[in-house]
């Protein structure tokens, strides 16, 4: 199940408590760049609105299996998932302090 399908299921179930959404994560990303190393490892760097950088990577065992667009997609998703973790922590901290989801 991908992020879009999960979001649809959350909405269908009417789950309305404060949470981190895909739209919110997307709004944080202002730039992305990729670098390929040794013909088989791809690094994605996402720059967020506040200037923070988040990285993700992908690597294949054999150069014969390397596909740059696929590597970029995997590296991007891995970086994106890190933002979920960071923002989830931040939201939970805000909720504990009574600030809410802003």
Confidence band, pLDDT 50/70/90 cuts, at residue 78: very high
Tally of CB atoms within 10 A around 20: 19
Angle (CA) 6 8 11, round 5° = 110
**Is 21-97 a CATH 3.30.160 domain?**
yes
Tally of CB atoms within 10 A around 36: 15
pLDDT in tens, 17-75: 899 999 999 999 999 999 999 999 999 999 999 999 999 999 999 999 999 999 999 99
Give phi and psi for 59, each to the nearest 5: -155, 140
Tally of CB atoms within 10 A around 40: 17
């Amino acid at each position: 199940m991908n992020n879009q399908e999960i979001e649809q299921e959350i909405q269908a179930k009417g789950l309305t408590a404060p949470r981190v959404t895909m739209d919110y994560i997307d709004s944080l990303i202002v730039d992305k760049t990729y670098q390929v190393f040794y013909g088989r490892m791809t690094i994605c760097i996402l720059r967020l609105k506040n200037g923070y950088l988040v990285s993700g990577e992908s690597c294949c065992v054999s150069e014969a299996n390397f596909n740059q667009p696929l590597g970029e997609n995997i590296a991007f998703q891995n970086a994106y998932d890190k933002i979920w973790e960071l923002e989830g922590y931040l939201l939970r901290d805000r909720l504990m302090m009574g600030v809410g989801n802003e």
